[in-house]
Amino acid sequence: MRSRVTAGLIAILLAACAGQRAPAAPTASTLTVFAASSLTDAFTRIGADFQTAHPGTTVHLTFAGSSTLAAQIQQGATGDVFASADQATMQRLADAGLVSGSPSIFARNRLQIVVAPGNPRHIGGLADLSRAGLIVLLCAPSVPCGRYASQALHAAGVTVTPASQEPDVKAVVSKVALGEADAGIVYVTDVKAAGAGVQGVDIPARFNVTADYPMAVLQDSRQAALARAFINYVLAGGQQILARDGFAAA
Amino acid sequence: MALPQPDGRRPAPAPVPFVILAGAGATFFVLPLLGLLVGAPWRSAWVLLTSSEALTALRLSLIASLSATAIALLLGVPLAWVYARVSFPGRAILRALTVLPMVLPPVVGGVALLLAFGRRGLLGGWLADVFGIHLPFTTAGAILAETFVAMPFLVITVEAGLRSMDTRFEDAARTLGARRWTVLWRVTLPLVRPSLVAGTVLCWARALGEFGATITFAGNFPGRTQTMPLAVYLALESNPQSAILLSLVLLLVSLAVLVGLRDRWLGTS
């Protein structure tokens, strides 16, 4: 009995060693991409297309606020590509020596005011957001969308007291969609992604902020060539998908 | 080394692999705390801790968690008593619903609270229309969220205490002519004091650490709804050093209370 167990263990160990020594098929690889949450829909589709174009490659996507992802990468999360919703966050990683090569701008986004369908509170522009009795949500100042919103409000000379500084842009949209808040400042793409649940009110170009989305290969990437190929794919074939979600071409 | 048993005998020594596993288990809990201690920016600790943002968040956290605990005591003790002593149809289901927030992802709890107490919620719509009361994005909302998540800890602890106590003392008091309130105050509650204290402390500690339901239901605004865990979460992205320090404060406060109360009231040392 005992010898049989031992034999079994040895067999398992041998199998494990063999598995380790066997060379992996040249194309079988997993590409880990960290992307800002505003890219969720577009990158999910781009990732699927990339997998089709590169058989044997699995694209593993992680979505979160850009600064959350940057913090994770700084704390040692390993991956191949980082796509940020703002330049400052990318710069922080570059300064820390965590990015290889110079980042490429692959998309641009603009801000919009998100309101309930039909705009029941008749919000026509940024100035209306300072009206008393209105529940307005902004992103927290540490998050790119919060920084951009305060730039736009500053440009328009409007002071807004938000009911809350939400941790990410999706939280602002979902609370407006739930009817808990009257308005918020978010990206054009988030309004589009939310569909019929909300409506967007345009911010004039002279107040609006253009958010440049940079992406780069991470220093720790073990497959820099494949990571570079993914970035090129986003810059080429991915543009159409990004445009469909409301992003402006880079 | 071995702790003496109640009858004074030493217990049989445990098998060595068992002790090694226990050591691994303990390390698992000690290591993250050690990581925070090592990673904390001790040089700038005082400046960061006495910054107005940190103090505002700490003050709000104490107010909200203590208020949540008070509400939990007011509603939770009677509820625990009913669960322990009264048999009624649907008790099992109601009891399961009461402990649900313990396993529900807190963010989902926050959404559920919005659907109940939000502007468009089942009760919230009525509260807003009739009384003009808005709970989301207010300190009251943060307290509500903390109560929702923390109260189950109090209820199940007190209920367990009530179930295991000797009810003959209550019977004796009643035969001696004590009224219901007197029995409750002078006999029942003093007898379950250890569970009452343990439940209160657990409830408070859970309320102090509450994050998901609070940020979902009450949002995040400094001085109004930004409690310590929310401040930590947001600082983690912009100022990780400050986040580590705030977490340590939160940990040490909870640890001090848990250790202190264990010795003082739970009869173990």
Query: What ipTM was estimated for this complex?
Result: 0.80
Average pLDDT over residues B85-105: 94
Kindly state whether residue B32 falls inside one of the protein's structural domains. no
Regions in chain A scoring below 70 on pLDDT: 1-28
Å between A142 CA and nearest CA of chain B = 6
**Domain locations along chain A:** 26-108+212-244, 109-210
Amino acid at B218: A
How high is the pLDDT of residue B8?
A: 64
pLDDT in tens, A27-58: 568 999 999 988 998 999 999 999 999 999 99
Kindly state whether residue B96 falls inside one of the protein's structural domains. yes
Q: Say which residue, A5 or B112, is predicted with more confidence.
A: B112
Residue A22 sits at φ, ψ, to 5 deg, of -60, 130
Å between B226 CA and nearest CA of chain A = 9
Kindly state whether residue B195 falls inside one of the protein's structural domains. yes
- What is the tally of structural domains in chain B? 1
Q: Which residues, in sequence order, are bridge partners of residue A32? A: A60
Does any CB of chain A come closer than 8 Å to the CB of residue B234?
A: yes
How high is the pLDDT of residue A20?
A: 42
Provide the pLDDT confidence category of residue B42 given band limits of 50, 70 and 90.
Answer: confident
Return the CATH number at B192: 1.10.3720.10
Instruction: For A137, name the nearest residue in chain B, comparing CA atoms only.
Output: B219
How high is the pLDDT of residue A152?
A: 96
Architecture per CATH, A109-210: 3-Layer(aba) Sandwich (3.40)
Q: Which helix (H) or strand (E) holds A79?
A: none
Does any CB of chain A come closer than 8 Å to the CB of residue B50?
A: no
The tokens describing A174, both together, are: 């979902």
Q: Cβ–Cβ of B137/A67 closer than 8 Å?
A: no
* Set of chain A residues whose Cβ sits within 8 Å of the Cβ of B233: 167
**Cα angle A132, A136, A138; round to 5:** 140
Q: Cβ–Cβ of B219/A70 closer than 8 Å?
A: no
Q: Whole domain around residue B139: which residue ranges?
A: 39-265
Kindly state whether residue B6 falls inside one of the protein's structural domains. no
Q: Of A166, A179, A181, which is closest to B220 when you measure between CB atoms? A: A166
| Res. B5: pLDDT tops 70 | no
Q: Is the dihedral of CA B122, B126, B129, B133 positive or negative?
A: negative
Does any CB of chain B come closer than 8 Å to the CB of residue A163?
A: yes
Q: Answer whether A26-108+212-244 and A109-210 agree in fold.
A: yes
Average pLDDT over residues B186-196: 93
How high is the pLDDT of residue B4?
A: 57
Closest CA to B234 of A112, A110, A164, A214: A164
Q: Which CATH number fits domain A26-108+212-244: 3.40.190.10, 1.10.3720.10, 1.10.10.10, 3.30.470.10?
A: 3.40.190.10
Structural contact between residues B84 and B215, judged by C-beta atoms closer than 8 angstroms: no
Percent of chain B scored above 70 by pLDDT? Answer: 93
Kindly state whether residue B167 falls inside one of the protein's structural domains. yes
